Structure 1
């Protein structure tokens, strides 16, 4: 889950399609890996990745569906100025099967043989026999040029244009003419989309501003860290959190849905990260998980230093205890705040008295939590 540090360190990420691929590669020591979670790569995921690297190695299944998904992902990545290479595994293999069968050393060799996006697309067209017939060949070359037009760096674009010209023994001027036409189409398309987006934003601005200001007003800042801990797959940590935090107490609806899925999995004895993601049907939630696990925003700076190898680490559990305590204190302080507001707005003396007594109980609870000393606690 904490791939971002390795991605930053190596300045490249390996993008896989399925979550099991991610888990298998990570467990084998390939830690600069992210997954699109079985869905088409989204602009939001790409923008998130760009915070850590601009170099992506695409590694999808070698079947027809995987190849099509790879080509779609390449186009999206090129539009966002990524350097894109493709890792091609032997036919019949996927990242999960390959790493389990051949190990990390052989996998690293496959990574070293990765080809640029243009070579990959050309090889796919060759396999389909599109260069055997003049009519098909024309369409295929135009498709290569259309992909090339997505590259924003003019120097790189011209060098790749020369590659196409040389490979197919065509005049550079001819390829350049096709490229200029594709660039013009891209510009028109972008301008049209921008105009539509402006209209959409203006239409929704009033209600959006209100919703953004109020939607997460009472969200507990410890919720994100609790979800990360729940996704550790550690039975001891899950048991402790669910013994002390109710699922319905999560204010953020996405966190609440995830906590509910994890709670169900925990009750069924299926709570590994892979099991949990398999239970999530919502594409939005799967994208949310990716955003969450790559996020820089950590409640505790200590969290990024914790080992994430699946073992029950002492400091990881103590971090869970600390996070639960912070969560509980926030809930208490939030209730006290709401009670004070109700009391000040009410003229009912009986209600004011009841709220006063309730706040005293809450203050006692808070003192008990702050004063709690167990062998599991740890001072950061």
Structure 2
């Protein structure tokens, strides 16, 4: 067991991340160490908290109303909140326990929060569920969420399980929400390189503890680190699969204080390029970048020298770009500097990396791809 933080009166030590059927959990009660034995449960709801007091009532109400008939636990880790978040959760303990939940609440009172990844890992480490249901403190799970995702996980032990969502306020992030809810099961894999991030979005994740232990833990770099995308890519590298329950099981809240806003576009871009090169481009002898504009050229510049040599052309629909005939990579140290042809998409040869934003061309991009009878995941991948 790890040593306790004397500042906290409701602190539990870290326990074995792969719990036996029964766990011995140490707590501090009245300043004295107490030890209790807890049985493993079917599902632990993993909830990191940081200054979420204004949303916790709705969030905990959603948890309380789950229709799952197995055993459940709520594991909360408070990441140095300066509001009354921990007290709000404590105020719900009796109602949750009366409903049959085990409740574990801990946290730290450091001057600075240590980040979402850290808080998630701590909430998992103090929990004992065979399955983990990740819940953000500002979102609301609908009554059937745990039941339906648990059923899906039983059949998919090495998977991240997601669901469809309803975004609030209504109309916020409209394109992103449509993307979350309408990807096909195949596209959960093929569109893993797009700028939207994980195709199974983190606030909807549900998985076996066994799979979390194989993939995890979350990166604890703190603010600005996309711990969800890093875990998502690591899961795929480990051979994990993805699945979405095609029912709306979560109300997914949009607000300016969300942790995702602290992650820079350049950080996400680099991770995506590296993953694309590793998983796709390493398997191709040559390819065409679909977009001779800013985004296509940026992708080319970010490729490894080996993969740059595989780019046979850029293709586009813009006659002005096509008439120039080629793109010169001015920053190259090669002499002469590389010149990559720019051609019309109908004259280009696949496979393609598509650097045109989805759902932004009024269906023209999709029509052009269909006209060439290309198959996503074989003949092309989306990168934007």
Query: In which range does the TM-score fall when normalised by the shorter chain?
Result: under 0.3
More helix by share: 1
More strand by share: 2
| TM-score computed with the length of structure 2 as normaliser | 0.25
Larger Rg: 1
| TM-score computed with the length of structure 1 as normaliser | 0.25
